[in-house]
Every structure is written in structure tokens, then in C-alpha cells.
A and B are shown apart, each in its own frame.
Chain A
Amino acid sequence: MTYTVEIKVMPLKELLDPQGKAVMGGLANLGLGGVEDVRIGKNITLQVNAGSPEQAKQIAEEASRKLLTNPVMEYFEVSVN
């Protein structure tokens, strides 16, 4: 059957995220208090045809390792719905 797999991709925690920094400035201009940090990543949704949720997850993890993310700068989390 077809599984919907969500992949969350985020910049590594130790790296400066200039996009998040710019948005942080925007939030400050908006006058919203309390936001101490912003980091921006991306969300990738795959429709995966597989025999089981585990297999779908495995396929998505391989896709993430080989193309969808770059471990030098990003980490990812995979969840099957």
C-alpha cells in the first residue's frame, strides 16, 4: 500500500542559520516578545509504495541520506503516517 512519509530537514544545531536570524529580526520588529531563537528547515512529503510502514520508512531514510539531505549541514527525522 501507499504510505505518506514526512521528512523534517533542519540545519545542524551548531551551524548559524542566516534565514532564521533574518526572521528573528522580523519578529522583533513585529513587537512580539518571548521568541528567543528561530531556525528554519524544510518539510518533504513522499508517497511511498511499500509492504509495511517500516519498509516505507527505510526507503525514505535512504532517499534522505542519498539525496534529500546533506549530513555536512543538515539532520533529518522521518515519520510515517
Chain B
Amino acid sequence: MKFGVVVFPGSNCDRDMYDALKHDMGQEVEMLWHKDKDLSHFTTDDCIILPGGFSYGDYLRCGAIARFSPMMQSVIEFANAGGKVFGVCNGFQILCESHLLPGALLRNGHQQFVCKNVLIQNPAGEIFKVPVAHGEGRYYADEKTLDSLEANGQVIFYYCDEKGKRTADANPNGATRHIAGICNANRNVFGMMPHPERATSSVLGNTDGRAIIRELLMSTQLVS
């Protein structure tokens, strides 16, 4: 299995993602330029990552213009063929704008950019500490979509406190139903606002991100 990290103009977490995968997790990684289209050297066992940042300056809406870049057309085909696609922060916004994931990410409810560690919980009940850094991370979808996401187990992370309780205080942006990350119905496209790639190095004091990347994307793979 190998990883491809797409670089858009304005991406700023692409190198972090590369470094986390390559050096902290010992994986094969390749950078992919947004103007290229060729994904023929990737198979559906591989994973394409849309990193955080401010693609195309967040003009119009976050992720709206990245959706139409040449590489995204190939990424959409790759996802529809069953390949794994993972979007973090701006990558999550791009996946929603591309209709690979339902809903949208709105401006934080408290009007401020938020940059801090938060706690998130997966459906298995595991709690992870991961940094968030965003101004527009308030997940929103209509009630019907939210109901179906929850009924199908497509919410992959909720914001929570130390005890796993979903409280307003533990929710950094006002996301509906405290949603931090979701996947599609086929479970091959994942998006989350927190940054697991910023929590993979023991030198930096937090390696919770390794477990997140391993469990979501490499469940049958061994990590060094």
C-alpha cells in the first residue's frame, strides 16, 4: 500500500502529512501536483490524501475551486472505483464540495479561528487527542442526512470530553451533533477536521494520530 498527497496552491499541511507518513510511520508516499491527472500508478489498495491548508486561497468557498482542478477529477474517479481517499481539514472541505461526502463545513459558530488540542471519539469508544486548526469547521447537513449518517455508522469521530461525553464545551466549532469526521456509505472516503498528521511524532509529545491513520486507512497493514 502506498499514499499520494495532493498539493494544491495554498495547501500548507501537505509536507506535514508526507513527513508523518514517511518518517513517523515508515510508509511509501508520493506528492501529487494539482495540475497533473495521472493516478495510473496507484491501485485501489492505495490511498490518496487531500491535506489541510487554504487551497486556492479559500476563494468563493473553502474547497469549491479545488474541486475542479485536474487532479481532483482523477481523485473522484479513484474514489468511485473504490480507492481510499482521506481529507483532513481543507481536504474534508474539498471532499464535501466534490460531493464525495455529504454536508458542508461552515464558519465556526463562535466566529473565531480555533487552534488547540481537542478530544475525539470513534464508534469503538476510543478517545484520541488531536489538534484542530480551522476557521470554517462547523460540520452541517440537514436532519435527514445527519440521521442517515448516524444510522449507518458513517460518523467516524465525535468531539467529546475526557469521559467521552459530547458537550458544547468539548465542541470547538459548533458542529451539528458534535461531528468531527465522517465517511461515505461505501466506507472508502473519509473526512475529518482535526489533524492526525500533527500527532504522529513522539518528539512532539503526541502519537494519537498514528492510531487514527492506521485504523482508518491501513487496518490490514502493519505499521513500523
Is B107 part of the contact surface with A, judged by Cβ < 8 Å?
Answer: yes
A contacts with B: majority SS: helix
Q: Which residues of A contact B (CB under 8 A)?
A: 15-16, 18-19, 21-22, 67-68, 70, 72-73
A70 to B64, Cβ gap below 8 A? yes
A19 to B64, Cβ gap below 8 A? no
Q: Which B-chain residue is minimally distant from A14 (CB atoms)?
A: B142
A70 to B109, Cβ gap below 8 A? no
Contacts of A70 in B (CB 8 A): 61, 64, 97, 104
Report 11 cross-chain contacts, Cβ distance below 8 Å, ordered by A residue. Answer: A16-B109, A16-B174, A18-B108, A18-B109, A18-B111, A19-B107, A21-B111, A67-B60, A70-B97, A72-B103, A73-B140
Contacts of A18 in B (CB 8 A): 107-111
Contacts of B107 in A (CB 8 A): 18-19
For residue A24, give the distance in angstroms from its CB to the closest CB of chain B: 11
A67 to B140, Cβ gap below 8 A? no
In angstroms, Cα B174 to Cα A21, docked, is 14
Q: Which B-chain residue is minimally distant from A66 (CB atoms)?
A: B68
